[in-house]
């Protein structure tokens, strides 16, 4: 993200869709780390509202959820004094570059995207072109800011690979327009599983509300959901193949307490699943309490939110315009 021409820190960029309140999966796999990276990197984070249009949305709900998502990012520790933070649709360069990149993208490679296959099976009555070209928009998001690193959960890895492919292809044709970004996926917590079907990813679009924790759930709701979490018929709290439910709970507990898996196993040796589930619920409720408190404050302050997202959009527009101008020139679009 070169603004002044001189550059020292690497650039981090990531986004999140505003469909529904963020889950514990989003928090552990992605956002929790975003705030921590602000000191070391030049960071850009955004609400990916254009991506959400690939699934039919209620307009009033989407508008509200986008503002809530913006307030949630602030609540999770993203500081607008340190990071660039904006709403994707406020920056037209994303849609423009997405179109150009889609002309350098093959039908075959988009057909192989697992998210496209999953979502088109799930929304069989609305397999729209946007759902198909979604990766080109995501590539545009990343490449516009010349990002070095993209912190995401494991489910986004294939989209990152596509981004690298399309950027390399473009660079080979026209000479270095884009930095080739690296995915930044943590070793643990990159895939938090459903509490009800622990072989499936925890997802905010799950119809079973007990399957996921939202980061605004009240403590008693969190604890009850963990009490109901599906585990197995054994008794031992240990991380082992086949114990998907317990493995997921150990992962969550270990990440949020900073303890190793071995320390967690030791802590609960000889104790039952009931005690363990309660302990996990309590830690999660505890960690999310400040986020909930911050959200109350930010979401009530509409004027502040407006000021922050407008300033973010202006800065994002200035940075992205540079890459877009370079690309337009390279592909032969006439200058204005
Ligand atoms: P989205 O909105 O589905 O999810 C946001 C982030 O949360 C991660 N995540 C998880 N991590 C661990 N366990 C889970 N159960 C879990 N569920 C979700 C996701 O991997 C993601 O990092 N296409 C993206 C948004 C996007 C984007 C971008 C991201 C648009 N443009 C550019 C990075 C760069 C998406 O739908 O994420």
- DSSP letters spanning 155-199: GGHHHHHHHHHHHHHHHHHHS--S---EEE--SSSSSPBPSSSTT
CA of 275 to the centre of ligand 1 (A): 32
Pocket of ligand 1 from Cβ distances under 6 Å: 13-17, 25-26, 28-30, 48, 51, 138, 141-142, 150, 152-153, 155-156, 190-192, 201-202
Q: Is 204 a catalytic residue?
A: yes
* 119 is annotated as an active-site residue: yes
Q: How many residues does the chain have?
A: 336
Q: Would you call 86 helix, strand, or coil by DSSP?
A: strand
pLDDT score recorded for residue 228: 97
What is the C-alpha to C-alpha distance for residues 140 and 171, in angstroms, rounded to an integer?
Answer: 14
Contact 259, 203 (CB under 8 A): no
pTM attached to this predicted model: 0.95
* Look-up of token digits 């809530």: 68
pLDDT score for 5: 53
pLDDT at residue 173, as a whole number: 97
Pick the catalytic residue: 82, 191, 204, 227? 204
Structure confidence at residue 2 (pLDDT): 57
| CA–CA separation, 66 and 308 (whole Å) | 14
> Which phi and psi angles does 14 have, rounded to 5°?
-155, 160
Catalytic-labelled residue, pool 119, 243, 277, 287? 119
Q: What is the DSSP letter of 142?
A: H
Amino acid 4: pLDDT? 54
- DSSP code per residue over 249-308: HHHHHHHHHT--HHHHHHHTTT--HHHHHHHHHHHHHHHHHHHHHHHHHHHH-HHHHHHH
Q: Which residues pair with 150 in a beta bridge?
A: 183
Q: Whose CA is nearest to atom 9 of ligand 1?
A: 26
Q: Which residues of the chain have pLDDT under 50?
A: none
CA-nearest residue, atom 26 of ligand 1? 15
Q: Tell me if residue 271 is catalytic.
A: no
Contacts of 234-241 with CB under 8 Å at 24 or more apart are 235/272, 235/273, 237/264, 237/265, 237/268, 237/269, 237/271, 237/273, 237/276, 238/265, 239/265
- What pLDDT is stored for residue 70 in this prediction? 98
């Amino acid at each position: 993200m070169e603004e002044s021409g001189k550059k020292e820190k690497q650039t981090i960029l990531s986004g999140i869709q505003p469909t529904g309140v963020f889950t514990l999966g989003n928090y552990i796999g992605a956002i929790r780390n975003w705030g921590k990276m602000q000191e070391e990197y030049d960071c850009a984070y955004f609400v990916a509202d254009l991506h959400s249009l690939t699934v039919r949305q209620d307009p009033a709900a989407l508008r509200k959820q986008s503002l809530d998502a913006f307030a949630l990012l602030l609540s999770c520790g993203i500081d607008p004094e340190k990071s660039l933070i904006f709403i994707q649709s406020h920056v037209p360069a994303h849609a423009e570059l997405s179109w150009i990149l889609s002309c350098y993208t093959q039908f075959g490679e988009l057909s192989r995207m697992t998210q496209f296959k999953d979502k088109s099976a799930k929304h069989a009555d609305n397999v729209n072109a946007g759902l198909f070209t979604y990766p080109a928009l995501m590539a545009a998001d990343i490449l516009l800011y010349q990002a070095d690193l993209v912190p995401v959960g494991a489910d986004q890895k294939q989209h990152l690979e596509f981004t690298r492919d399309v950027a390399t292809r473009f660079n080979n044709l026209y000479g270095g327009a884009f930095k080739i970004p690296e995915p930044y996926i943590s070793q643990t917590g990159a895939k938090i599983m459903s509490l009800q079907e622990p072989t499936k990813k925890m997802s905010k679009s799950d119809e079973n509300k007990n399957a996921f924790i939202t980061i605004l759930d009240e403590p008693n709701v969190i604890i009850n959901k963990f009490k109901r979490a599906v585990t197995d018929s054994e008794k031992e709290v240990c991380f082992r193949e086949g114990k998907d439910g317990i493995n997921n709970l150990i992962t969550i507990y270990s990440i949020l307490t900073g303890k190793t898996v071995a320390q967690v196993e030791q802590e609960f040796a000889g104790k039952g699943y009931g005690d363990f589930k309660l302990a996990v619920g309590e830690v999660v409720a505890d960690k999310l309490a400040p986020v909930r408190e911050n959200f109350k404050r930010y979401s009530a302050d509409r004027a502040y939110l407006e000021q922050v997202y407008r300033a973010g959009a202006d800065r994002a527009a200035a940075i992205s315009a540079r890459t877009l101008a370079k690309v337009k020139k390279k592909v032969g679009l006439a200058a204005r």
